[in-house]
């Protein structure tokens, strides 16, 4: 007694290897540059007030975002939107840091700040230094 035989299925099983049967290379499943751009861009937005953090992290996020977007355009990697969002966050961190830097330089280069430094240098005690600080804040708000 033999087992019944069934006709061969017209459908073949999918290939089990990770390469294309036509000899091409499959795109990567992840895009490390896009992930790095997004993480660095978020950190640049969070730490833009530290100037160095915003400038350095923002610049790296923009560069990695551009590299990742170019790789997705060439079809070598996925996650184009993540790359663009990371680059945009990096640019926002750069802009925020630039604004903080300009404001800080203008305050430290002002006549009011020079008067504050002179007042603190001449102060005899903590009460006099506190008075200098209050006068400086009043001058900045006017």
In order along its 142 residues, the chain shows pLDDT tens digits of 666 666 665 666 555 555 555 555 665 577 788 999 999 999 999 999 987 888 999 999 999 999 999 988 888 778 888 999 999 999 999 999 999 999 988 888 888 888 888 888 888 889 888 888 888 888 878 7
| Cα–Cα distance, 103 to 49 (Å, whole number) | 11
User: Helix, strand, coil: what percent of the chain each, to 5?
Assistant: 70, 0, 30
Which pLDDT score, from 0 to 100, does residue 137 have?
85
Which pLDDT score, from 0 to 100, does residue 62 have?
96
pTM, two decimals, is: 0.66
- Rg of the chain, C-alpha, whole Å: 30
- DSSP string of 47-96, one letter each residue: TGGGSHHHHHHHHHHHHHHHHHHHHHHTTS---HHHHHHHHHHHHHHHHH
Which pLDDT score, from 0 to 100, does residue 76 have?
77
CA 129 to chain centre: 40
Which pLDDT score, from 0 to 100, does residue 72 have?
86
């Amino acid at each position: 007694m033999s087992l019944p035989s069934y006709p061969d299925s017209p459908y073949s099983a999918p290939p089990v290897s990770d390469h294309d049967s036509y000899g091409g290379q499959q795109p990567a499943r992840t895009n490390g540059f896009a992930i790095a751009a997004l993480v660095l861009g978020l950190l640049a937005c969070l730490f833009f007030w530290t100037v160095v953090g915003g400038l350095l992290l923002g610049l790296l996020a923009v560069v990695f975002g551009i590299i990742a977007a170019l790789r997705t355009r060439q079809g070598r990697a996925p996650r184009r939107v993540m790359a663009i969002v990371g680059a945009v966050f990096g640019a926002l961190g750069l802009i925020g840091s630039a604004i903080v830097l300009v404001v800080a330089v203008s305050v430290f280069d002002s006549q009011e700040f020079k008067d504050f430094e002179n007042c603190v240098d001449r102060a005899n005690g903590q009460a006099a230094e506190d008075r200098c600080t209050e006068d400086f804040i009043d001058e900045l708000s006017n």
